[in-house]
Amino acid sequence: QVQLVESGGGLVQAGESLRLSCAVSGRTASSLAMAWFRQAPGKEREFLASITWRWRDASTYYADSVKGRFTISRDNAKNTVYLQMHSLEPDDTAVYYCAADGAGYVGPRDYEYDYWGQGTQVTVSS
């Protein structure tokens, strides 16, 4: 139905910025919603941000922990969702996952999302 592939992770020093990309293929109906999660070693998966796929009047949602620092966006023509991250800290080190829900769910519950990418590693050094 929907396939997701993350890219853009890497090793970054504290205070720097990084942009992650999620390439979306398959069925991309207007009801689709996209989200970013992350999971650090020994921790549960954490919701970061979500966005509706529709072209007009897209809505975004953020976890309080990343508001003002991370920005989610999408380019429907390129079938890509982005996560722009600024002022990265060592605590941001994790595997970052792209997720999608065909019914338009944009909340923080990871088990509600139908599709997941393989993840991309982000490591922030001091």
pLDDT reported for residue 109? 97
Pick the closest to residue 27 from 118, 100, 110 (CA basis): 100
Pick the closest to residue 93 from 5, 12, 4 (CA basis): 12
Instruction: Please tell me the distance from the alpha carbon of residue 59 to that of residue 103, in angstroms, as a whole number.
Output: 15
Residue 65 φ/ψ, nearest 5 degrees: -70, -20
Q: pLDDT (tens digit, 9 = 90+) per residue, 55-102? A: 677 899 999 999 899 999 999 889 999 999 999 999 999 999 999 999
Please check the confidence at residue 53 and state whether its pLDDT lies above 80.
no
Q: Percentage of residues in the chain with pLDDT exceeding 90?
A: 86
* Mean pLDDT, all residues of the chain: 94
Please check the confidence at residue 30 and state whether its pLDDT lies above 80.
no
Residue 53 makes CB contacts below 8 A (sequence gap 6+) with 28, 29, 30, 31, 32, 33, 34, 74, 76
